[in-house]
Amino acid sequence: MRTLRSLKMQLYKMFVSPIPMVCVLMIFALCCVTNVYSDPESGKGYSVATMLLSGDIAQFVADNQVVRENVVRSAMSSWLIMFAPVICVLPFVKSVSSEKSSLKRFEMHRCGKGVFAVTRLLAGMLTSAVILCVGYGLFIALSFGLFPSAAEMDENIVRAALHGMSFAGFYFSRLAGALIMGAVCALPAYIISIFSNNKYMMTCIPFMLLHFYNIFIGRLSKSISAEGKKRLQLFSFSGIFKAFESSEELYVFIAVIMLAVVSAIIAIAVLHRRCDCCE
């Protein structure tokens, strides 16, 4: 009971401000300005915003055979993957950085340091996951109104767009992948919050760490075999979606659960060793 009460309090503090809605709109905007189609002849990239501003988007889509599934897949790349770790954790960062010391001590005394650490972790992961999933879901909804489905094209386009999945499975995998990716984005900020309540450290350090991590995975994959590269890419942010496409999502779930458990163990250990409530 006290665990649920503490989790409810943590979620309330993160969702009570308009920041989560602003973050959702920022995710949606990033999807709209990310290049989702490249002209094979000129190499010029087009985002959904560019297509809308070009004039007759229906004619553009018909001339270039742009399909909804490819647009949805391409939107979850580049700018979105780079800035999602910052945008998704803003409600968590605001909640932690603006928290009064007396309230924090009271919550720890009422529910226990272990419960406090676990519920804050769960609230941060849930908030971040919902923000990314809803923002990406809004973009998918927009794509339904602008682009035709691959089902309306020939069989080759269907195979290239769905990678062997059903249409329902494709959209489920995209939203589930966004949910998991959002949850993972919260973990570095949570670890930093254990040692510091500085909002700039909680925002910038995880951003740099995750950015360098993706660069490291990309460069390491160039020096190994094709089979090893395929396995290694599952550990990148975009690999979350590739795992669903190759029916290896179980490895992603196990990895995320392990990361969350390790984060919770670190937080509980630090809280029990310190007497200042990590302020």
State pLDDT tens for residues 172-218: 888 988 999 899 889 989 999 888 888 888 888 888 887 787 778 77
Structural contact between residues 19 and 94, judged by C-beta atoms closer than 8 angstroms = yes
Give residues with Cβ within 8 angstroms of 26, minimum separation 6.
87, 135
State pLDDT tens for residues 219-268: 777 777 666 666 666 677 777 777 777 777 787 888 889 989 998 898 88
Please say if the pLDDT value at position 160 is more than 70: no
Burial of 248 (0-12, 13-18, 19+ CB in 10 A): middle
Question: Which of 41-50, 155-164, 218-227, 230-239 is predicted most confidently?
Answer: 41-50
Q: Is residue 142 left, alpha or beta, with left meaning phi > 0 and alpha meaning psi from -120 to 50?
A: alpha
Structural contact between residues 177 and 240, judged by C-beta atoms closer than 8 angstroms = yes
Amino acid identity of 117? A
Q: Give residue 106's pLDDT band: very low, low, confident or very high (50, 70, 90).
A: low
- The bridge status of strand 45-47 relative to strand 35-38 is antiparallel
Placement of tokens 């979350």 in the chain: 240
Please say if the pLDDT value at position 137 is more than 80: yes
For residue 21, the model assigns a pLDDT of 94
Placement of tokens 């290049």 in the chain: 35
pTM: 0.86
Can you give the C-alpha Rg of the chain in angstroms?
21
Please say if the pLDDT value at position 155 is more than 80: no
